[in-house]
Structure 1
């Protein structure tokens, strides 16, 4: 799903499958939290006006509870507070590389959106990813084309590194 952004750039999905669950679990691991606190922390972490909806966060919390990665405790005003379990900590440790990659991606996204001069690079990266997805979904991609695509990407990476 591609969304139109403020400065005319396009972006793909912010969170790949399962990444929101991992991020929510990471935030709960830092300290027990209410759903609203999680929404606010993700908004601050992502930046650029992004805020996950309650329709995203609460089903995620329910899933984490079903998986026994978090426990729920009623607090004042009948709010639910979520705490990580040992199983949740284990899962988080097993997914540490994925989590680190996600946190780096979010940091890069914040950096890009705080520096307007980097928006052209972000747009170009998204264009490349979209072109790759479309080409690779095509049933007519042959091994020779795949090799050519990989070589062109490698070549571009080398040239960028030389700048």
Structure 2
């Protein structure tokens, strides 16, 4: 799931970024300080930390890794494959220490996004909506279905939507 807006500041979504300015740099630096990582691992770890609500794109992650490397905050380690792992440098640790409050706030924001996502994102509800969509599309495609039946199906869907809206 990529960048879905869940109503939390910076929660992703169209036209909004999850992180402002140097925030992504700090998040990546913190994750690399926790353990040496490669780009794909960073994407997956952020997705895990947000409960699947947000996964940054490679087009955002890899340039940020390159910038952290150029800044001397991380350095490539020997790797046993095509994926280059990075570890934090002494300068990177000092940078994290200097920005500890901001790092803590970003970590809390990721956790809040995960919690919000967990409360609002129900696999069972998505399955039920997919099922409803498939059944409705199947029924509406049938040529022998009368116009009256088509309107009846639409009315049922509208009725269910109204009932759900009224739930407290």
TM-score range (shorter-chain normalised) is: 0.5 to 0.7
Residue 62 of structure 1 and its aligned partner are, at CA, apart by: 0.4
Distance 2:50 2:24 in 1: 12
CA distances 1:94-126 after superposition (whole Å, capped 9, x unpaired): 010001111111111111121139xxxxxxxxx
Matching of residues 12-161 of structure 1 within 5 Å: 12-116=16-120
Distance 1:106 1:31 in 2: 18
* Structure number, greater radius of gyration: 2
Structure richer in helix, relative to its length: 1
Distance 1:39 1:10 in 2: 14
Residue 74 of structure 1 and its aligned partner are, at CA, apart by: 3.7
Runs of 4+ in 1 over 4 A off after TM superposition: 3-7, 9-12
Q: TM-score, normalised by structure 2?
A: 0.61
Distance 1:32 1:107 in 2: 21
Q: Secondary structure at the match of 1:80?
A: coil
Provide structure 2 residue ranges, at least 5 long, that are not aligned to the other structure: 122-168
Residue 15 of structure 1 and its aligned partner are, at CA, apart by: 1.0
Structure richer in strand, relative to its length: 1
Distance 2:86 2:23 in 1: 18
Q: Secondary structure at the match of 1:71?
A: strand
CA distances 1:59-95 after superposition (whole Å, capped 9, x unpaired): 0110000000011124122321100000000000001
Provide structure 1 residue ranges, at least 5 long, that are not aligned to the other structure: 118-163
Which region of structure 1 is more displaced relative to structure 2, 90-99 or 48-57? Answer: 48-57
Q: Contact conserved, 2:6 with 2:117, CA < 8 A, in 1?
A: no
Q: TM-score, normalised by structure 1?
A: 0.62
